[in-house]
Structure 1
Amino acid sequence: MLTFRYSRWDGSQQVFPLDDAAIMGELSDQLLSHGDINSALRNLMRRGLPARFGERSMGLQDLVQRLQNRRQEQQQRYDPGSAMEGISEKLKSVLKHEEQSIERQMDRAKSQADGSKDAGIDPALAQKLLKDLQRRAQRSRDFLETVPRKNPAAAINKLRDYEFMDQRAKQEFDELLDMLKKQAAESFFKDISKTLQSLTPEQMKAMRNMVHDLNEMLEQKMNGQEPNFEEFMEKWGDMFGPNRPQSLDELIEQMQRQLSQVQSLMNSMSPEQAKQLQDLMQSVLGDGELESELSRLAANMDFLDPSGSMRREHMFSGDEEIDLSDALKLMDEMRRMEDLERQLRRVQQGGSADDIDREALQELLGEEARQALDQLTRLTDFLEREGYIKKVGGRFELTAKGMRRIGQRALQEIFAYIKKDRPGGHQIDPAGQGVENADNTKQYEFGDNFVPHLQKTILNAIKRDAAGVPVRIQPDDFEVYRTEHLTQAATVLMVDLSLSMAMRGNFTAAKKVALALDNLIRTRFPRDKMFIVGFSTYAREIKADRLAYLSWDEFDPYTNIQHGLAVSQKLLTRIKCGTKQI
């Protein structure tokens, strides 16, 4: 009867606690099929662990599938090309507000000039001011007509030195320009915009000098020299924020991740949009020397990335608009999902689970996924703690306890569906000399083992002579235990290891029978001898502790049963007992 106990949730409960017996059962099945405990453990981690009430925890394959689904959802939702369209729309808004402001100012100036006499203003002066404003307005209109509306980079370069007549339009343009400058800087250096808040000329100069020194250091590394990273960080470390890199390799890795955001975004756009974004990033800083140093830095980073990890492409089919900042964050999320999927697949192939970024897993898939991974990584610890496996030379092997557990499971499966029939215990009828006492007794006869039943012996003496005490016992009064005659047997089990066993799907069943028989004899008949002989092209003895790892002979495909019988007979000749069987 199951008992369910309810309590307040505090985060420490397991929704579906693991089922230890089911885990060992599945591990046994995997081991029977593959003959490799390490492969069996990997398959169990891939599929997930069985929990109580028929549930399963998420396996590595489930985590990979969730990542793929999330990535597909993002690809079907967003349109990265809208990031450039968003910049174009902001520029259109700036131009629209400027043009509307020019017209409003002209209308207001005309009204003031027409009413200047009534307002007590010199009409000649009012007309002069109106003409000056008209000339300026016309120059502004002429200039705005030359601004390329479909090329954001060229438009921004045009408007950079333009004297706005509308403060709102100027504020919008300055905010857009500042945002683009920060994005351009952060495309190389993470968190640098938090250090350089407004990118003033002094800060731009400092950034230019820092990038120059960084290029010098990278080129020293590319030429096989040892750059002084500590000196560089002592001089420029404040520009990298609180999470400053601890080595040059870490700094290179950070910059590659940052560059991959912009590169992946451009790869996910149309060629025209990608060219516009590239031009925009190269020109938005407004500092020719800095732009030259950044181009040099990009070339150096490309040289240090021979695998092309920065050149990723994502196929988007959605129509939801996204701005540039969010588009770059989306590219970073896509990269993290790809990296995490690669880490999970590497573990499925035998890699270490310690290499999985658990923080990224929790952020991308939630706390449940993190807990599932923790359960999977504790699997080997649990099996070691329970004494089922041990680590030998960097690999896991079954212990004697683990072998017995697998043998017991095989034995249970074989007899699970046995039909109800007459009672039996596989005993023989003849009684005789032995070492095990039977429950019944007999009168002592010459030659019997002298194991007297004291109560019945004294009772026989009293029945014979009830004169009183002391009771005198005669030889005929002795009652002794009958003893069961126990014999030993030597058994050789021959297992066909030829390729045909695997091709016909019979090998797993044969291996299961071998494990079950070995477990039965060792637990029920410990005095018996049990040998296992495997045969294919040639025959050989298989030790019991290697039985769980047994597999077919892929490169010796033939069935030499004659050699198997010869090896079996040779093993039996060493045993001195009456019953020998193959």
Structure 2
Amino acid sequence: MSSYRYGRYVDGPDPLAPPTDLRAAMDELGREVMEGSSPESALRELLRRGLPGTRGLDDLTARLWRKRAAITRRHRLDGTLQEVQRLLQEAVRAERAALFPDPDDDARFREAQLDALPQSTAAAVRELAEYDWRSPRARESYEEIRNLLGRELMDQRFQGMKQAVESVRPEDVRRIQDMLRDLNDLLAAHARGEDTAERFDGFMREHGEFFPENPRTVDELVDALAARSAAAQRMMNSMTEQQRRELAALSQQAFGDSGIGAQLAQLDSLLQGMRPGEDWDGSARFRGDNPMGLGEGAQAMADLAELDALAEQLAQSYPGARLEDIDLEALVRQLDGDAGVDARRLAELERELRSQNLLERAPDGSLRLTPKALRRLGETALRGVIDGVRAQGQRDNRSAGASGEPTGSTRPWAFGDTEPWNVPRTVTNAVLRSAGGPVSLDVVDVEVSETERRSRAAVALCVDTSWSMVQDGRWVPMKRTALALHHLVRTRFRTDALELITFGRHAETVDIGQLTALEGVWEQGTNLHHALLLAGRHVRRHPDAQPVVLVVTDGEPTAHLEATGEAEFHYPPLDRTLGKTLVEVDALARLGASITVFRLGDDPRLTRFVDAVARRSGGRVVAPDEDGLGAAVVSDYLRSRKRR
């Protein structure tokens, strides 16, 4: 029998992964915007924090910095020097052991030579280059120094070269010489602007073993070599002056007088000229106990550079930054596959928010929410408000009137609905549910036709935008309430005319987008007088509609509008301010409007004033808490429609 094993999907994005949760993202964006953030900064905040199941940019950046700190904290750069010193000491000890039993003068002379070796490791290695070793073990250790230096020097410039060059035998030296000569010729021709595509293909066929990264073009080859060469230079910059001198002297002895050192110097010069944007002057401070060789040190410097570049990409702080800029392959290489999945999901989220027409660029270049996004926010706000209405024992008045004027839309039947069934939709649902089998009707198939009243309402929602609304935590509930009411009117009671009016020092009419994005500012004054003037103007524009005026405020009027158009502010309120405000209350009452005031807070002066407003207009006062504000406003609006 065949056996099967199941594991995580690793070949790219998981095809069975859930789609991007745009609704949750829009809820988060909306909350940030309603708290006063711009859509641009709200989107950045969302991407920084992430969503449930998807880590944000901040978490990914923190992981990058932790890895960067671990590299510099655990390692140091003198591994090659230490290994050369160990091999040198091993060779000298073995040679002394071989010379000690020999009584002749030549043995004593050789011991004197060993005693007189310079303190400098590089100078000692150079002085022993012509020494005729008596001990085979000593000769082997000394030869290993040259092999080590050759491998490390090549691995420092070419990633993976240590595996390609097992030793520095004469045939290996010739292979390296030929490769470097052809490489320098190829890069010089490319720098002169010559067509080098065919020449590059021939070079890779002959010397491809030295380049495990398998570049496909000359530019890819130059990019890889320049990044490695710059990392090697930054590594040298990070060493002490003495360590640099020792390594420079040792490097000259790696391949003897083969000329490879001069070819490497020519290669570095070509690469610096072709890629001046690489970081050739940087350095890093390593303070750990684990010594690294030249190749490992160069790789560590390359990793640090890649980590820095990824951190900059994740920061998204440069003009025109997009999450598509993140190098996902590098992120997976430096962290893990999960990090790549998170970054890909965030990029998809950003892309979907734009492609689904939820975010758009304003004429001034700023980002703003589209009407579609505002509808989604309104739907979410209304859903939360309706839940609050039901929790208070009231039912959503989905039917818009006994006159039963069809709206053309349908919805699933719910217990208590009295609207007529929509037979075509009901039968279609039953057929689809039966999937080709016998058709039977079930309660889940039933859809009813939505209706609306012929009566219209002119609704003015006046919301207080003074600073006290911000500092007392009432700013977002106020906006959520306006969103819910706006969505309810636009989707269920489309014949009603809704006007949104904000009032601080002055009052003004705003659309739902402006109100959603409105930022709280320090402004003294609660000019209900001006707001009621605008509400009266809205009611007069719709003489055939029932007037409904809803006022949300947490303070008594402290400002009124003068005939000149200027607002006069005074605290405590002037009698003239209160008088002018009540004159507008009486004017609205004469138009048939009863004013419902939603009082936030327990200020005794405010309580006395709103009670007077309710008495004079035949309205009422509702004192909800912040969480119940939306339910209270929507309930009062539905109640006024039911009354009509």
- Of the candidates 337, 345, 351, which is equivalent to residue 367 of structure 1? 337
AA paired with 2:375?
R
2:63 aligns with 66
Residue of structure 1 equivalent to 2:379: 408
The TM-score, its normalising length taken from structure 1, stands at 0.68
After TM superposition, list the pairs within 5 Å mapping 1:181-196 onto structure 2: 181-192=150-161
Task: Tell me the CA shift for residue 493 of structure 1.
Answer: 3.6
Q: Secondary structure at the match of 1:213?
A: helix
Structure 1 residues 426, 564: closer, same or farther in 2, change over 3 A?
same
Match of 2:131 among 155, 159, 162: 162
Match of residue 481 from structure 1: none
1:81 aligns with 2:53: no
Contact 2:150 2:167 in 1 (8 A): no
Q: Secondary structure at the match of 1:378?
A: helix
Residue equivalent to 2:569: none
Q: Secondary structure, in 3 states, of the residue corresponding to 2:35?
A: helix
1:174-229: per-residue Cα shift (whole Å, max 9, x none)? 233123223223333344565666453533542453365257447xx4xxx52443
Determine the structure 2 residue equivalent to 1:177.
146
CA distance in 2, matches of 1:348, 1:416: 43
- Cα shift at 1:374: 3.1
Partner of 1:153: 122
Aligned with 2:52 (options 50, 53, 61): 50
- Name the counterpart of 2:299: 329
CA RMSD of aligned residues (A): 4.5
- Pair 1:526-2:522 in alignment: no
Question: Is 1:157–1:284's contact at 8 Å kept on the other side of the alignment?
Answer: no
How high is the sequence identity, in percent, across the aligned residues? 25
Q: Deviations over 1:263-284 (max 9, x none)?
A: 3333333332233234333553
The CA deviation at 1:59 is 1.4
CA distance in 1, matches of 2:347, 2:519: 31
| Structure 2 match to 1:230 | 197
Aligned to 1:579: 546
Q: Compared with structure 1, are the counterparts of its residues 525 and 212 closer, same or farther at alpha carbon in structure 2 (3 Å cutoff)?
A: closer
Partners of 1:348 and 1:408 in 2: how far apart?
35
Task: Specify whether residues 486 and 323 from structure 1 end up closer, same or farther in structure 2 by C-alpha distance, changes over 3 A only.
Answer: same
Contact 1:192/1:239 (CA < 8 Å) preserved in 2? Answer: no
Query: In 1, distance between residues paired with 2:113 and 2:385?
Result: 91
**Structure 1 CA distance, aligned partners of 2:470 and 2:245?**
58
Note the C-alpha offset of 1:409. Answer: 2.7
Shift of 1:61: 0.9
The alignment partner of 1:318 has SS state of coil
Query: What SS does the corresponding residue of 1:88 show, helix, strand or coil?
Result: helix
CA distance in structure 2 between the partners assigned to 1:198 and 1:140 by the alignment: 28
Deviations 1:447-480 (A, max 9, x none): xxxxxxxxxxxxxxxxxxxxxxxxxxxxxxxxxx
Residue of 188, 210, 230 corresponding to 2:182:
210
Counterpart AA for 2:486: D
CA separation of 1:485 and 1:371: change in aligned 2, threshold 3 A? closer
- Letter of the structure 2 residue corresponding to residue 239 of structure 1: H
Which whole-Å CA distance do the structure 1 matches of 2:306 and 2:165 have between them? 26
1:271-309: CA deviations, max 9, x gaps? 322332343335533237443343344345445555561
AA at the equivalent of 2:86: E
Tell me the SS of whatever aligns to 2:379: helix
- 1:42–1:349 Cα contact (<8 Å) kept: no
Does residue 1:258 correspond to 2:258, yes or no? Answer: no
Amino acid at match of 2:85: S
What is the rounded CA distance, in whole Å, between the counterparts of 2:186 and 2:219 in structure 1? 13
Q: CA deviation at 1:313?
A: 2.5
Asked if the contact 2:99–2:134 (Cα under 8 Å) also holds between the matched residues in 1, the reply is: yes
How many Å separate the matches in 1 of 2:88 and 2:111?
Answer: 16
Alpha-carbon deviation of 1:36? Answer: 4.7
Report the more deviating stretch, 34-43 or 268-277.
Answer: 34-43
Measure, in 1, the Cα distance between the counterparts of 2:307 and 2:114: 44
2:283 is matched with which residue: 313, 338, 341? 313
Alignment of 1:158-557 (within 5 A): 158-192=127-161, 198-199=167-168, 200=170, 201-207=173-179, 209-210=181-182, 212-213=184-185, 216-217=188-189, 221=191, 225-230=192-197, 232-234=199-201, 236-237=203-204, 238-240=206-208, 241=211, 243-287=213-257, 289-303=259-273, 306=276, 309-346=279-316, 351-380=321-350, 389=358, 402-413=373-384, 435-436=403-404, 487-494=455-462, 507-533=475-501, 541-544=509-512, 546-547=513-514, 550-552=517-519
> Any idea what SS the aligned residue of 2:290 has?
coil
Task: Give the Cα–Cα distance (whole angstroms) in 2 for the partners of residues 58 and 255 of structure 1.
Answer: 34
AA at the equivalent of 1:203: R
Q: 1:101 aligns with which of 98, 102, 105?
A: 98
Instruction: For residues 394-449 of structure 1, give each alpha carbon's deviation from its aligned partner in whole angstroms, at most 9, with x where no partner exists.
Output: 9987565543331133345557667976758799xxxxx97249xxxxxxxxxxxx
Q: 1:494 to 1:288 in 2, by over 3 A?
A: farther
Q: 1:332 to 1:90 in 2, by over 3 A?
A: farther
CA contact (8 A) 1:511 1:550 kept: no
Check 1:285–1:523 CA distance in 2 against 1; reply closer, same or farther (3 A cut): same
Name the count of aligned residue pairs.
486
- Conserved 8 A contact 1:152-1:276: yes
Contact 1:264 1:311 (8 Å CA) reproduced: yes
Match of 1:10 in 2: 7
CA distance in 2, matches of 1:306, 1:538: 58
The equivalent of 2:426 in structure 1 is none
Please report how far the alpha carbon of residue 573 of structure 1 lies from its aligned counterpart in structure 2 after TM superposition: 4.4
Q: Deviations over 1:367-400 (max 9, x none)?
A: 3323322332332466689x67377799987565
Q: Deviations over 1:211-258 (max 9, x none)?
A: 65257447xx4xxx5244336525643335354444444333222221
Write the letter of the residue equivalent to 1:97. A
Q: Is contact 1:71-1:334 (8 Å) kept?
A: yes
Is there any run of 5+ residues in structure 2 with no aligned partner, and where?
406-451, 550-644
The letter for the 1-side match of 2:374 is M
Q: In 2 relative to 1, CA 47–206 (structure 1 residues): closer, same or farther, beyond 3 Å?
A: same
- Check 1:195–1:518 CA distance in 2 against 1; reply closer, same or farther (3 A cut): same
Q: Find the aligned partners of 1:423 and 1:245 in 2 and give their Cα distance.
A: 70
The answer to which of 375-384 and 351-360 deviates more is 375-384
Equivalent residue, structure 2, for 1:468: none
Q: Distance in 2 between matches of 1:40 and 1:349?
A: 17
SS at match of 1:342: helix
Q: Which structure: larger Rg?
A: 1
Q: Whole-Å Cα distance in 2 between the matches of residues 562 and 248 of structure 1? A: 74
Query: Aligned in 2, Cα 1:289/1:176: closer, same or farther, shift over 3 Å?
Result: closer
Query: What secondary structure is seen at the aligned counterpart in 1 of 2:458?
Result: strand
Ranges in structure 1 where 5+ consecutive residues have no aligned partner: 1-6, 52-56, 111-130, 428-432, 438-483
- Per the alignment, do residues 323 and 188 of structure 1 end up closer, same or farther by CA in structure 2, a change over 3 Å counting? closer
Contact residue 347 and residue 353 of structure 1 kept, 8 A: no
Seen in structure 2, the aligned counterparts of structure 1 residues 344 and 531 have a Cα distance that, compared at 3 Å, is same
Change (3 A) 1:486 1:233: closer
In 2, Cα distance between equivalents of 1:347 and 1:359: 21
Contact 1:497–1:551 (CA under 8 A) maintained in structure 2: no
User: Which amino acid letter does the alignment assign opposite residue 159 of structure 1?
Assistant: L
SS of structure 2 residue aligned to 1:577: coil
- 3-state secondary structure, aligned to 1:527: coil
Q: Is the 8 A contact 1:488 1:578 kept in 2?
A: yes
